[in-house]
Chains A and B, each alone.
Chain A
């Protein structure tokens, strides 16, 4: 029973990270109208910047958090003009060109990380971030304070995002563009400016995610972004591309599924089993569990 409870907590904190990643990905898809396959790579890049700042400042957590958010927002904003440039027509998703550009950005990030940081070796985050002493320990499984705090922050970030989406002027404009870009333009919503806001917001989410992953895993490697990118794309397709509520459910389920597999079968099987389950789902429901919303 303890194993089960521990793995549910683990699964929820992992799942809330997936949820945030899929939400940022879908936001860019719905509002900026790009397929940003490499969004998780941007997040991992921010983890590296955070690590660097922590090293330089003697583990100043505040400056580290600031660096995570700032680097992710800046990198996202810097990529915006590139995406705008390759898109043929504003007002619709140009899957091919934005996806190719995004893959390119992802490769560059992975290469930079493997050449220019820590000689390409995986980086380890200081114990202050994830906490040293386990709150709960059952055999090989333990719950660290970092897991609990990443779960709490994850829940706050997800609810904050949905509040913003449904209760603010910017969120209303996001939803209008997501539903009907040309209609939104007719009403007087500036597509370009609102698109840039969505880059900034998904960057902000990315910074928070970078901190959560750092607290949960305690380490990162250059190819982490790529691994996560496959999962994020899979989750968003299974939930239904662009479906925010669907992403919330499927992201949490995937986190719990992986944690349960890790707890009862083996950690090395968790990716394989997760992808087999997702493959079965997508064969049965090609448009995703909750339907495509584009």
Chain B
């Protein structure tokens, strides 16, 4: 579904990504593991269309999308749940959700019903200002908002960041559930243990290059990964 080949991105003098190649196939959960500054967010944002690649090809559903505007990619079925949730704190829950459907307002009612079914708490809080939500609720809102755009591939940037362990479990359960519903998921995580137990495959990103890739089981038992990311 998403195929990235030889992708390089730089911010001025800094090379954030160096010839990264990565594949996400339909129906998969793929995880990007890496420390802070490894280039995970840059990779996801570049796929979405925020950054223009220096070199390399990004294909989504077999169409080259390098340098295509974000709103067109969102319309095509790609979306990102940003790091730190990125909900609009001064707007209410319903408005936040409808923003996700900005390019697809015709079907908003249908999607809204499904999002409320999956996240009853959002229905309960629909008139509440997003600022008043807890961290976990905000993450659910951000995921719900992503679902409003009727995506095929959902990219989730560091979903566990700053959340209590029990809430992290909920979030990963939600991602697993969404995957079963047919959504393809690409997530980035520092919390490698949880992420690898959820994902089918993974890539390890270090200072802008992919150093290791394989199935989740392989990575979980890899001595290097265990030492660097699993604290074993």
Which A residues lie at the B interface, using CB under 8 A?
Answer: 169, 172-173, 175-176, 179-180, 183-190, 193
Contacts and interface: CB of A to CB of B under 8 A. Distances in A.
Interface of A is mostly: helix
A176 B91 CA distance: 8
Given A169-B105, A179-B89, A179-B91, A186 B71 contact: no
A176 B99 CA distance: 8
B102 A187 contact: yes
A172 B48 CA distance: 22
B99 A189 contact: yes
Interface of B: 45, 48, 50, 69-71, 73-75, 79-80, 82, 86, 88-91, 95, 98-100, 102-103, 105, 145, 149
B91 A188 contact: no
Contact of A187 (B69, B74, B75): B74
B95 A186 contact: no
Contacts of B99: 172-173, 176, 184, 187, 189
A48 B70 CA distance: 42
Contacts of A172: 91, 95, 98-99, 102
Nearest to A190: B71
B31 to A, nearest CB: 20
Nearest to A175: B91
B80 A169 contact: no
Contacts of B90: 175, 179
A180 B82 CA distance: 13
A189 B86 contact: no
A184 B91 CA distance: 12
A186 B70 contact: yes
Contacts of B69: 190
A81 to B, nearest CB: 18
A169 B99 CA distance: 8
Given A187-B74, A188-B75, A190-B69, A175 B149 contact: no
Nearest to B105: A169
11 contacts: A169-B98, A175-B88, A175-B91, A179-B88, A180-B88, A185-B70, A186-B45, A186-B80, A186-B86, A188-B103, A189-B99
A139 B82 CA distance: 65
Contacts of A193: 71
A275 B86 CA distance: 41
B187 to A, nearest CB: 16
Nearest to A167: B95
Nearest to B82: A186
B60 to A, nearest CB: 14
B67 to A, nearest CB: 15
Q: 5 tightest A-B contacts by CB? A: A188-B74, A190-B71, A188-B71, A183-B86, A179-B88
Contact of A183 (B71, B82, B95): B82
Interface centre among A183, A186, A188, A190 (most CB of B within 10 A): A188
A187 B70 CA distance: 8
A190 B82 CA distance: 17
A188 B98 contact: no
